[in-house]
Copies of this chain bind each other. A is one copy, B any other.
Amino acid sequence: MATVRIVHLKAALRRCRGTSPPPPPWALCRLPNRSIRSFSSVMSPPSKAVVYDEQGPPDAVCKVKELPPVPIKDEDVCVRMLATPINPSDINRIEGVYPVRPPVPTVGGYEGVGEVHSVGSAVLGLRPGDWVIPSPPSSGTWQTYLVKEQSVWHKIDKCTPMEYAATITVNLLTSLRMLEDFVDLKSGDAVVQNGATSIVGQCIIQLARVRGIHSINIIRDRAGSDEVKQKLKKLGADEVFTENQLEVKNVKSLLADIPEPTLGFNCVGGNAASLVLKFLKHGGTMVTYGGMSRKPITVPTSAFIFKDLSLRGFWLQKWMSSDKAKECRDMIDYLLSLTRSGELKYDMELCPFDEFPTALDKALGKLGSQPKQVIKF
């Protein structure tokens, strides 16, 4: 257990550096863990968790609670969570509007990164101190200690920035698969998307650029749109238009040297989806993966018959249950390598766990447009 102890001391030292004086409430809460570990090596520490007992408005139903220790079975790995994001799908699960959701009461969250705290007797590939992510993602990441079977955990390179490791699956794998699975894109081809400032949007720009694929990007009209355009262009966007700019008879006349896109992505719906369709080449495909405007997608008959457009959808959770997902961990490693090399970056805001209610309000849009909220334990 020496290794465990050393790692824990290091972790404790690291934690202490950022928590003096006075120590925040969560630092005090951590105290019982150590005492419990001392009398049972096959039980997890107690875990401080964001729990909801019923579906409903997340800011009403989510409570921070301390959960008692759980047994660590032979095949189990106990992970001390380091960081976990608040994704829109997490919110939808709590609201009860997501088609697949864990039975309540349950702990929120679906992805994140943690450090192995202790392992069951039959665990071979992981040891305390390793950094791991649940892969495929798995429910209950909004807590300090998470115990799951070894097969759930994927060991990652510890040089990865923590906030990227915490968010690499739900958004980035969506971006990667949508670029790969619908149209056979070649270097020099183009894609078009709305919601380009979302994390998926930012990653599509960058993953496309890595492959030599042009991106045409549509953003909302709002104050500061010029700065947003500059920012997306720095990431590699070829063109960025606000919706109002596209109120022209032929949007394609706005494309200079960029070929007509064969693939489009929609995470908004309503008019923003129609604009994606207008850009698409004859025979092109639009993939819907979100509906931020809460408006449906409206398509003229001629777009199907004479323009031969295809409309599809993408849902990572379903993809994860397919055969293709076998290669999921290789893809995650590739994406993580891009974050380490700086080829893939996106806006996030780290928030200490004890400020979870504020982070949740930001994720719910109650405080205006905010970057992705990532909880740091």
Interface residues, chain A, with chain B CB atoms under 8 Å away:
99, 269, 287-291, 296-315, 318
Residues of B within 8 A of A305 (CB): 288-291, 313-315
CA distance A301 to B174 in the complex (A): 16
CB <8 Å contact, B308 and A310: no
CA distance A169 to B312 in the complex (A): 30
Given A298-B296, A299-B297, are A313 and B304 also a contact pair (CB < 8 Å)? yes
CA distance A290 to B310 in the complex (A): 15
CA distance A355 to B289 in the complex (A): 54
CB <8 Å contact, B288 and A297: no
CA distance A288 to B290 in the complex (A): 23
CB <8 Å contact, A269 and B306: no
A301 contact from B296, B300, B302, Cβ within 8 A = B296
Closest CB-CB distance, A300 to chain B, in whole Å? Answer: 5
Q: Determine the residue in chain B with the shortest Cβ distance to A291.
A: B301
A313 contact from B269, B287, B297, B308, Cβ within 8 A = B308
CB <8 Å contact, B304 and A308: no
CA distance A258 to B148 in the complex (A): 42
Given A298-B297, A299-B296, A299-B297, are A288 and B315 also a contact pair (CB < 8 Å)? no
CA distance A288 to B305 in the complex (A): 7
CB <8 Å contact, B312 and A304: yes
CA distance A308 to B313 in the complex (A): 6
Closest CB-CB distance, A365 to chain B, in whole Å? Answer: 17
CB <8 Å contact, B297 and A291: no
Closest CB-CB distance, A324 to chain B, in whole Å? Answer: 14
Closest CB-CB distance, A262 to chain B, in whole Å? Answer: 15
A311 contact from B290, B307, B311, B314, Cβ within 8 A = B311
CA distance A299 to B296 in the complex (A): 6
CB <8 Å contact, B290 and A297: no
CB <8 Å contact, B315 and A301: no
Residues of B within 8 A of A291 (CB): 300-302, 305
CA distance A291 to B297 in the complex (A): 17
CB <8 Å contact, A300 and B296: yes
CA distance A297 to B312 in the complex (A): 14
CA distance A229 to B3 in the complex (A): 77
Residues of B within 8 A of A288 (CB): 301, 304-305
Residues of B within 8 A of A311 (CB): 299, 304, 310-312
Closest CB-CB distance, A88 to chain B, in whole Å? Answer: 12
Give 23 pairs: A residue, B residue, CB < 8 Å, sorted on A: A288-B301, A288-B304, A290-B305, A291-B301, A291-B302, A291-B305, A296-B298, A297-B299, A297-B301, A297-B304, A298-B299, A299-B299, A304-B312, A304-B313, A305-B313, A305-B314, A306-B313, A306-B315, A308-B313, A308-B315, A309-B313, A310-B311, A311-B311
CA distance A309 to B300 in the complex (A): 17
Residues of B within 8 A of A318 (CB): 308
CA distance A162 to B287 in the complex (A): 46
Q: Determine the residue in chain B with the shortest Cβ distance to A312.
A: B310
CA distance A305 to B317 in the complex (A): 10
CA distance A287 to B311 in the complex (A): 11
CB <8 Å contact, B269 and A301: yes
Closest CB-CB distance, A73 to chain B, in whole Å? Answer: 34
